[in-house]
């Protein structure tokens, strides 16, 4: 029989599972604490469990969903992890140190079906959704690698894939990440970034009070549909309506991501049109000068154009921050989006 992958379970599911194998319900909480707080590498380390139960776990379960294959460090301290999955696929996670924060950018799918023109992952096509365990284990394994001296402070779903297209596994992973007996992150320190999957945004707002980031990248439908095909299905009007309805937590804002592409979406007129589009939404804008990759037709705009774009937004009282790309030389593509999350946290 296939071993049970315990990191696939939320706490209530693990409670049901331990009962199904004849153990008391509270054992699930002990298991959760061992897996996520103590981060044990084998059941033998769980001395608070009976020997019999440990043997049962050793014979019938699997702790790790991922295998660390490669780790690369950029000169700015960004770390890129490459993980192997059971079926031979690989996924990436990127750790962005930005004292006092350590933000981990995690993947939710192998590849992506949404084919945004500027995105390296989009060129790979979609392979499959990640399971809950494969999402959660990115956090566990990176934290184990970092050791006790460095704690991951923020999580961002901005790696490979569109998290709202793998909704159930992502919501279950967030449940484990935020459970006090699990990874114990505050919802306020988790950000989910979407390319604009409108129905998923409405569900997310009801199911989980995480922060929302929206990859916008254009302020008119014609251009956005050209560089982000998802816009043909969910054009700006429906996307903005979903943003206005999203229940943003107190002292939080929606983040709009805007990759600046030279000569494509970086003119002062386009900045003014962006102002109009997001007016009235409690939000901020991350301006990300494009980080060119070999297969891309796009370029980074000159600095004066980037600053001029920012100035238009700032004059309209919109918080607009230029985010420097991180981990360029290690190809941390999603890392360029993930910088700077969590600065609104007051704790
Ligand atoms: S930007 Fe996000 S949604 Fe678009 S192709 Fe890349 S991973 Fe997919």
Give the model confidence (pLDDT) of 229-258 as tens digits: 999 999 999 999 999 999 998 888 999 999
Which residue from 81, 111, 84, 109 is spatially nearest to 96, judged by alpha carbons?
81
| Active site positions, annotated | 92, 334
Domains by residue range for the chain, with CATH: 4-62 (1.10.150.530), 67-338 (3.20.20.70)
The protein residue with its alpha carbon nearest to ligand 1, atom 4, reads 116
Q: Which atom of ligand 1 is nearest to the CA of 122?
A: 5
Question: How remote is the CA of residue 1 from the centroid of ligand 1, in Å?
Answer: 36
Residue 328 pLDDT greater than 50, yes or no: yes
Note whether 180 and 208 are within 8 A (CB).
Answer: no
Could you report how far apart the first and last alpha carbons of the chain are, in Å? Answer: 46
Q: Buried (b) or exposed (e) across 73-85, using 16+ Cβ within 10 A?
A: ebebebbbbebeb
Tens of pLDDT along 251-291? 889 999 999 999 999 999 999 999 999 999 999 999 999 98
Count of CB atoms situated within 10 Å of the CB of 37? 13
Positive/negative CA dihedral, 315, 339, 175, 203: positive
Query: Is residue 344's pLDDT more than 70?
Result: no
Residues with CB under 6 A from ligand 1: 112, 114-116, 119, 121-122, 160-162, 195, 215
CA of 65 to the centre of ligand 1 (A): 24
In the reported structure, the alpha carbon of residue 122 is separated from the centroid of ligand 1 by a whole-number distance in angstroms of 5
Among 183, 188, 159, which residue's Cα sits nearest to residue 173? 183
């Amino acid at each position: 029989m296939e071993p049970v992958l315990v990191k696939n379970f939320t706490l209530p599911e693990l409670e049901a599972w331990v009962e199904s194998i004849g153990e008391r319900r509270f054992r699930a909480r002990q298991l959760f604490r061992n897996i996520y707080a103590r981060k044990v590498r084998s059941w033998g380390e769980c001395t608070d469990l009976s020997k019999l139960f440990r043997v049962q776990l050793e014979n019938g379960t699997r702790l790790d969903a991922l295998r660390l294959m490669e780790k690369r460090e950029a000169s700015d301290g960004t770390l890129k992890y490459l993980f192997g999955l059971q079926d031979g696929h690989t996924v990436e996670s990127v750790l962005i140190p930005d004292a006092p924060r350590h933000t981990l950018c995690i993947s939710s799918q192998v590849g992506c079906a949404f084919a945004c023109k500027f995105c390296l992952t989009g060129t790979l096509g979609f392979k499959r959704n990640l399971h809950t365990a494969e999402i959660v284990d990115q956090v566990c394994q990176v934290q184990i690698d970092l050791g006790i001296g460095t704690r991951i402070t923020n999580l961002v779903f901005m790696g490979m894939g569109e998290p709202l297209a793998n909704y159930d596994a992502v919501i279950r992973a967030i449940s484990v990440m935020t459970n006090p007996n699990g990874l114990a992150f505050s919802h306020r320190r988790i950000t989910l970034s979407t390319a604009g999957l409108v129905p998923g945004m409405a569900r997310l707002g009801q199911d989980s009070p995480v922060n929302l980031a929206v990859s916008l990248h254009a302020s008119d439908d014609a251009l956005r549909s050209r560089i982000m095909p998802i816009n043909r299905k969910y054009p700006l009007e429906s996307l903005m309506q979903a943003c206005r309805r999203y229940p943003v937590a107190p002292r939080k804002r929606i983040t709009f991501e805007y990759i600046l592409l030279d000569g494509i979406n970086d003119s002062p007129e386009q900045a003014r049109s962006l102002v109009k589009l997001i007016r009235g939404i409690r939000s901020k804008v991350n301006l990300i000068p494009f980080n060119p990759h070999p297969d891309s037709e796009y370029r980074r705009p000159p600095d004066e154009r980037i600053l001029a774009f920012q100035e238009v937004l700032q004059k309209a009282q919109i918080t607009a921050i230029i985010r420097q790309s991180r981990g360029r030389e290690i190809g941390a593509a999603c890392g360029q989006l993930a910088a700077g999350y969590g600065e609104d946290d007051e704790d």
